[in-house]
Amino acid sequence: MLVPLALLALVSIQTGSALAAPANDNFSAAQTVGPALPVSVPASTVDATSEIGEPSIFSNDPLATVWFRWIAPANGTNVVDLCAAGFSGSEYPTERIAVRTGASLLGQVLVAETAGACSLRFNAAAGTTYNIQVDYGNDQGTFTFRLRPLSAPVNDNFVNATAISPNLPTQLNGTTVDSGWQAGEPAALGGSGSARSVWYTWTPAATGRARISVCDPVLVDGAGNLVIALYTGNTLGTLVSVSSTNECEMDVSVVAGTTYRLAFSGTIRGELNYTLKLSSAPPPPNDNFANAAVIGPGLPVTANGDNNFATTEVGEPGHSGINPANKSVWYRWTPTTSGPVRVRGCSREFPARVSVYTGATVGTLTQVNAEPPYSPHCGVTLDAVAGVTYNIAVGGGPFQGAYGPFELDVHSLEVPANDNLEQAIGLGKSQKFKVNGSTIDATFEDSEPSHDYDYGQNSPSVWYRWTAPDDDPIIIEACAVKEPVRVAVYTGTDYSNLNKLVQAGEGCRAGFGGRLAIAPEKGTVYLIVVSPVERDFETDFTLTGVDPSYTPVAAFNLKKAIAKCKKIKGKGAKAKRKRANCIKAARLKAAIIKCRKLDGKSAQNACIKKARKRYK
């Protein structure tokens, strides 16, 4: 009988697939390893299957399992370790591991199991046969199977704490891999089922403030949740908490000669490699309310500040409408004239928070600034009264990294003429237009829609009105020199009937801002709004409208830009400063253009942040 070629091919494929299954695909053919430890053998789940009656792993049905068999030579805690297995089937595999006993597939008794973790601990009894089930789910690939004894860090237990140098700064490399919980440990470290804690002892040589940091740890297994905890006391049962945090660093007050116990733990079975750093953390001179830096009284006032190592006082209110206060510094201003003012304390290093108060003590403060319709915020407005003393707080939020340099700016408020929609500036009926504008001191109206599709930031805005002269397409661009702006186009007459057509926060050819195109209808009135991409980072900008055939802006030439800056006339300090600022802005623009050529948004943003810090 003749057999169709297609059928022969199918038989060939099925036979080949069956032959390709791993030798230890089935329970009965489990690969024997050891008994000596550690074990490291090549393995594969490619074309692996599951058997009828095969047990699930942590409630996950078996999909492509392979089996290993090991007879324990001694009592002890051991680890099935797939954390550096080099699995070829996925960059981010989801491991499922189970350890069982029993002579038949249907008679398996569970010892330990996990899903989503790359290692599994289990207590072995000498002479017992253990069946180890491994499944990578829908991902199939090759890997290295490892079985090893648990090897706890030397400072796993309280009594074996590692000594830290009394002098600062100092740092030590450490790990919580294979660490565990010790009876009597504080619950804050994660508890018996989750703690991965290690211990240090430290007797500082000097009294003062210190920063303890374990930032940028490398996660080996488990969750990245962590805790740093500082105690006094000579035994686990007599520990007294000094301070603790779930962030990667904390600042504490310490006393010379006092012995402190420092614990670091991955609280949800977090096994991490890390560098522990201790350094001095002297607070800024204006850290406390009583030592506020005096500014003014004349306006404008600008001052460079930094809240690194700052503290929070007892009774201090949360700034920018968010509790608790964190790392705040203080300024004191008594105006000689009355009037509305703008107070900003913004930073590119962290999301700063600003509030203004009256009152003679921290406990009697009354917030007097107007709150923007968003929080946190680093810019507020205030109706200042001559002779009244105002206390300005600049601080960070409750999360790590909430500190850094900032610029305090206090100036008389000058709201743009086109701040509100009903005061939109007319751009005429020409297809080409070019106007200079500013978002400085702009506000956000109560019924105003968000101009950002993604985040709804409620950014301050300014408005323009343009009537289309014909049906020809038009490119609208809003560009700024330092801070990016967003441009959006609407139809409608007021907030009750606005219809957003398009918005853009990128693409500007001559700076930083949005570029978009619309196909207008002749005679239709379009509302154009410009707002900061980042709410409190106000800036001047240029708004243009051109037809698509308009010749693009020439490539930016840094040498020519610097040469132009040097031609700015004047001999005094003001002229020199103007030339220097012009050159700095040119270098910043060139640097950011270069940054935008990098692959990936995160790389671009990191590069731009570094450039802005360099040329601020």
In this predicted model, what pLDDT tens digit does every residue of 226-279 receive, in sequence order?
Answer: 999 999 999 999 999 999 999 999 999 999 999 999 999 998 888 999 999 999
Q: What sign does the CA torsion over 572, 573, 574, 578 have?
A: positive
Q: Taking 60 as the threshold, does the pLDDT of residue 13 lie above it?
A: no
Confidence of residue 3 (pLDDT cuts 50, 70, 90): very low
Check residue 453 and give its pLDDT.
Answer: 64
Q: Taking 90 as the threshold, does the pLDDT of residue 573 lie above it?
A: no
Q: How far is CA 598 from the centre of its chain?
A: 20
* Three-class secondary structure of residue 564 per DSSP: helix
Place of tokens 């189970």: 98
Beta bridge partners of 388: none
Strand 197-202 relative to strand 162-164, pairing: parallel
Contact 588/558 with Cβ under 8 angstroms?
A: no
Confidence of residue 456 (pLDDT cuts 50, 70, 90): low
Q: What sign does the CA torsion over 535, 541, 547, 549 have?
A: negative
Mean pLDDT across the chain, nearest whole number?
A: 90
d(CA 16, CA 487): 60
Confidence of residue 1 (pLDDT cuts 50, 70, 90): very low
Q: How far is CA 210 from CA 207, 312, 368, 372, 590, in A?
A: 9, 15, 34, 36, 40
Pick the CATH number of 22-149 from 3.90.1170.50, 3.40.50.720, 2.60.120.380, 3.30.110.60: 2.60.120.380
d(CA 524, CA 164): 73
Check residue 15 and give its pLDDT.
Answer: 38
Confidence of residue 320 (pLDDT cuts 50, 70, 90): confident
Confidence of residue 291 (pLDDT cuts 50, 70, 90): very high
Residue-wise pLDDT tens digits, 335-386: 999 999 999 999 988 999 999 999 999 999 999 998 887 778 899 999 999 9
Check residue 555 and give its pLDDT.
Answer: 67
Place of tokens 């789940």: 45
Beta bridge partners of 293: 331
Return the higher-pLDDT residue of 547 and 90: 90
Residue-wise pLDDT tens digits, 125-184: 999 999 999 999 999 999 999 999 999 999 999 999 999 999 999 999 999 999 999 999
Check residue 604 and give its pLDDT.
Answer: 76
The number of helices, as runs of H, and strands, as runs of E, in the chain is 4, 37
d(CA 109, CA 106): 9
Check residue 220 and give its pLDDT.
Answer: 94
Count CA within 13 A, CB hemisphere, residue 318.
10
In order, the DSSP letters of 159-208 are GGPEEEPSSSSEEEEEE-TT-B--TT--GGG--TTT--EEEEEE--SS-E
d(CA 171, CA 407): 32
Burial profile 164-199: b = 16 or more Cβ within 10 angstroms, e = fewer: beeebeeeeebbbbbbbbbeebbebbbeeebbbbbb
**Which spans in 432-522 are helix H?**
none
Confidence of residue 601 (pLDDT cuts 50, 70, 90): low
Contact 452/429 with Cβ under 8 angstroms?
A: no
Residue-wise pLDDT tens digits, 86-111: 999 999 899 999 999 999 999 999 99
User: What are the structural domain ranges in the chain?
Assistant: 22-149, 158-280, 289-412, 421-546, 558-614
Contact 357/319 with Cβ under 8 angstroms?
A: no
User: In percent, how much of the chain has pLDDT > 70?
Assistant: 94
Give the predicted TM-score (pTM) of the model: 0.78
CATH number of 421-546: 2.60.120.380
Region 519-529 average pLDDT: 95
Check residue 12 and give its pLDDT.
Answer: 36
CATH number of 289-412: 2.60.120.380
289-412 matches 158-280 in CATH topology? yes
Rg of the chain's alpha carbons, rounded to an integer?
A: 33
End-to-end Cα spacing for the chain: 85
Check residue 578 and give its pLDDT.
Answer: 77
Confidence of residue 557 (pLDDT cuts 50, 70, 90): confident
Region 563-579 average pLDDT: 78
d(CA 156, CA 536): 47
Residue-wise pLDDT tens digits, 26-36: 999 999 999 99
Region 285-302 average pLDDT: 97
Confidence of residue 550 (pLDDT cuts 50, 70, 90): low
231 closest CA partner among 256, 202, 209, 211: 202
Check residue 243 and give its pLDDT.
Answer: 96
* Fold adopted by 158-280: Jelly Rolls (2.60.120)
Contact 34/148 with Cβ under 8 angstroms?
A: no
Check residue 18 and give its pLDDT.
Answer: 46
Cis peptide before 35 (omega within 30 of 0): yes
Return the higher-pLDDT residue of 216 and 1: 216
